[in-house]
Amino acid sequence: MKLTLQEAGWAGADQADGSARVSEYRVAGLPSGENAKIAEYGQSWRFLRWNDSWHGNWTGNYSTPEAALEALREDLLTAA
């Protein structure tokens, strides 16, 4: 399963002048019906996963959005 991060939210001064940093991502490449996003909380990253039947909770304490994405991928594989 190939998941990718898509920029969805920024923190900081001004995105136009490059001073803002990405603080939230949508996740693409999920199985049909699944949804997820990854966001920065303080100095760590967490993921939120949901579908039409249930809504999860913010999970994890990862050092990078890529590490959160990998943990999300493993979570999806475990649930399958």
Over residues 26-71, the pLDDT tens digits come to: 999 999 999 999 999 988 999 999 998 999 999 999 999 999 999 9
The pLDDT score that the predictor gives to residue 15 is: 57
The pLDDT score that the predictor gives to residue 70 is: 97
Q: What is the pTM of this model?
A: 0.84
pLDDT category of residue 22 using cuts at 50, 70 and 90: confident
Report the 10 Å Cβ neighbour count for 68.
26
The pLDDT score that the predictor gives to residue 72 is: 96
* Exposure class string for 46-66: b at 16+ Cβ within 10 A, else e: bbbbeeeeeeeeeebebeebe
Rg of the chain on CA atoms, in Å: 13
